[in-house]
Amino acid sequence: MNALYDIHGLAVRVQGLCRAAVPDINAKLQWFEVADDGRQADIEVRIGPFEPQRDGCLVLDRRYWARPGYLYVEESDKGLSWRAQIEGLDRPAGRPLRIRFAHGKANRRRLPWRLFPDLVMHLYVLWPVLECELAGRGLWLVHAGAVERDGRAVLIAGRGGVNKTALVAELCRRGWRPLSDDFVLLRQDGARGTVALAMPTSPRWFQFHLRHKEDEALSAWDKLRLLAYLYHRREVDVAFVPEASLGAVVLVQAVQGQTAPEASPMAPAPAAEALELNCRMERTAYVGHGFRIGRFLEAYRYVVPESTYGQPWETGLGPTLAKILADTRAFRLKTPRRYDARLATLVEGLE
């Protein structure tokens, strides 16, 4: 199965997606899918067996092979294994980045992954590359949900598990409109200030929470319902707002032993730092022994230290977020670890 995604101007073509999978989890970029007109994509991904071209490469840790412009990795984490090859790092403008990806034997046999095998590629290979490519175009991928009312967007940032999705869904039930529940892109747009662009990674999943399940604590029965819901490819009729100018940032943090949620304003500098780390920690969310998301980009830099690939993201994320937060109000929302329906009232009260 092939798909062409247009992420606010960045074209990504993925070939060889698994057909039988639960599509919403399998392909995180579904919402951006457009009709394939055969255009030249900026990132070309092909899933399937391939022969790596390792001639002239230097080897690190027996898992990274790199030479200028080229990287081949063999990685494994939590029983999954995969091979990937990236061609065209440090390429001149206008040329595509070519990614080849092959599953290890066990990936499709293990049960949860059998339902969404290509998530491995999205999570571990495409996402760090996407962050770098988008940053090079002035789009900053931020791990946060967002809702909009009267043309102003409120960013709801936080680590996984602090009930971002449930909070966004609850706000939408109260008349806000969603941009996204998990990721947004921020762009500095001169006179308009900062613009938040939608990046819903699994719209049906969000719709499930909106209609059928208030909180994110899923029992085994809920998980089955969710999978059935996603598998049947229900029509997505939630209208995601494509973009809105940024009004406020809310940082949701789970506090041990907290009984009721409480909100407090946050100074711009700490808010920007926390937001930056919230993005950076996505790459350390699954630190195994010798594995970390995006480590392959560092391995490439090790062999080609003069490379500038990924540098806009690496060095620009902090300063850009600091600039954005300097003229945006920010709040910290302390919440109990269990979902509390009063969160939404608090967020509405902030405005």
DSSP 8-state secondary structure symbol assigned to residue 166: H
Q: Please choose, from the candidates 24, 31, 46, the residue with its C-alpha nearest in 3D space to the C-alpha of residue 116.
A: 24
Phi then psi for residue 293, to 5 deg, are: -60, 135
Least Å from the CB of residue 287 to other proteins = 5
d(C-alpha 44, C-alpha 226), whole Å: 31
Least Å from the CB of residue 346 to other proteins = 18
Least Å from the CB of residue 59 to other proteins = 4
d(C-alpha 292, C-alpha 283), whole Å: 6
Q: Which is nearer to other proteins, 260 or 285 (CB)?
A: 285
Say if CB 84 and CB 125 are below 8 A apart. yes
Strands 80-87 and 140-142: unpaired
Q: Which is nearer to other proteins, 106 or 285 (CB)?
A: 285
Q: Which two tokens stand for residue 127?
A: 């996402």
CB-CB neighbours of 64 under 10 Å: 21
What DSSP line would sit under 267-307, residue for residue?
-HHHHHHHHHHHHHGGGGTT-BTTB-TTHHHHHHHHH-TT-
d(C-alpha 302, C-alpha 296), whole Å: 10
Q: Which is nearer to other proteins, 88 or 294 (CB)?
A: 294
DSSP 8-state secondary structure symbol assigned to residue 174: T
Q: Which is nearer to other proteins, 11 or 321 (CB)?
A: 321
Least Å from the CB of residue 298 to other proteins = 5
Least Å from the CB of residue 255 to other proteins = 6
Q: Which is nearer to other proteins, 49 or 288 (CB)?
A: 288
Least Å from the CB of residue 202 to other proteins = 20
Q: Which is nearer to other proteins, 281 or 341 (CB)?
A: 281
DSSP 8-state secondary structure symbol assigned to residue 122: I
Q: Which is nearer to other proteins, 100 or 332 (CB)?
A: 332
Phi then psi for residue 85, to 5 deg, are: -135, 130
Least Å from the CB of residue 148 to other proteins = 26
Least Å from the CB of residue 41 to other proteins = 30
Q: Please choose, from the candidates 327, 167, 170, the residue with its C-alpha nearest in 3D space to the C-alpha of residue 245.
A: 327
Say if CB 70 and CB 86 are below 8 A apart. yes
Residues that bind other proteins (CB under 8 A): 55-62, 159-161, 253-258, 269-271, 273-274, 277-278, 280-281, 284-285, 287, 289-290, 292, 295, 298-299, 301-303, 305-306, 337
C-alpha distance from residue 194 to each of 90, 141, 168, 324 (Å):
28, 13, 20, 7
Q: Which is nearer to other proteins, 1 or 322 (CB)?
A: 322
Q: Please choose, from the candidates 137, 132, 333, the residue with its C-alpha nearest in 3D space to the C-alpha of residue 252.
A: 333
